[in-house]
Amino acid sequence: MGIDPKAIDWDSLGFNLTETRSMYKAVCKREGSWSTGGLIPFGNIELSPAAGVLNYGQGVFEGMKAYRTIKNRIVIFRPDMNAKRISMSSQRLCMPAMDKNLFLRAVLATVKDNLDYIPPNGKGSLYLRPVVWGTAPVLGVKPVDEYTFIVYASPVGPYFKGDIKPLNLYVTKDYHRAAPKGIGNVKAIGNYSASLLPLIKAKNEGYDEVIYLNAGDEELIEEAGAANMFIIKDNVLKTPKLAGSILPGVTRDSVLTLAREILEIDVQETDVTLNEVCTADEVFCTGTAVVVTAVGSITDLDGEHRIADEKMGRLTSKLKEMLTGIQHEDIPDESGWLYPIKE
């Protein structure tokens, strides 16, 4: 069982786990269909030491958020995209495709059973973590025979301390996040453990995150840790194209849509060079956790490059305002991105 939601200090929420009341669980055989599943108390799980996820990293996950809006409604942001991506990720790692209806039912049930853990409007959100992994034991390198799907939740505040302060990023040439034709474009659990050492080294030097370069051409950027990257130069918005090694972020897609259809600015999904990033008018990162976060400086082998006087730029601010405005119902959701929850 989770902690008493009445004991939570909403003003002090960080991006840390707070145990909630319940989680959703379903299982599936390799050649079968997912069970209906249901809610169980939040708590520890039991695994064989030979489980596929422990030995060979056969597991994927998603990150989503539920919000309490200014209209005092509970909404989830674009869960259909998460359902599609977790199914793609699962199949890439030889796990059963996720049923969209089961995914949405599980997320909905988890939110509804943990409504009192959703922060008040403006204080944070309920972070949702769907996970699929290989449960059955295995010794040889092969797909296992049984899989588990769980959705759990935690109230969270901003991902980066200070939230509004632009990030200080470090460009690494010592490590690559992913390579073309690998699994950089799926949300596999192993992708994130591989990024821990570069991140720790960067934080020890006073940086907030790491910028990863393209494994085939180190003149090109890819991602910033667990976030997609954007630059703005002369009113043109650019982001690295999806070429097999970059995660197709939900927030990335949302920002591109807002820029094209609402702001009506020139948008390019293309190769983005490190030099373009260091000389851009504005740079920002996107993701479910980080939302839209400005970059104030970038340090590479040539030294520190300050961006937009280390402040949030005009278009970055506008895109963040629009995105969070839709999520919190400050502005109309003309794209139908919000999935309302009936309390």
Residues labelled as active-site residues? 187
> Count of residues for the chain?
343
Instruction: Spell out the residues 6+ positions from residue 183 whose beta carbon is closer than 8 angstroms to its own.
Output: 92, 93, 190, 191
d(CA 101, CA 80): 9
| 114 closest CA partner among 9, 13, 41, 7 | 41
Where in 143-281 does DSSP place strands (E)?
Answer: 146-156, 167-172, 209-213, 221-224, 227-233, 236-240, 266-270
Label residues 250-283 b or e (16+ Cβ within 10 Å = b).
bbbebbbebbeeeeeeebeeeebbbebbbebbbb
Pairing of strands 282-287, 64-68: unpaired
Cβ atoms of residues 66 and 341 within 8 Å: yes
Give the CA count within 13 Å in the CB-facing half-sphere of 90. 28
Instruction: Spell out the residues 6+ positions from residue 187 whose beta carbon is closer than 8 angstroms to its own.
Output: 60, 61, 62, 85, 86, 89, 247
Residue 38: Cβ within 10 Å count = 12
Query: Residue 162 has what DSSP assignment?
Result: T
d(CA 226, CA 239): 15
Give the CA count within 13 Å in the CB-facing half-sphere of 173. 9
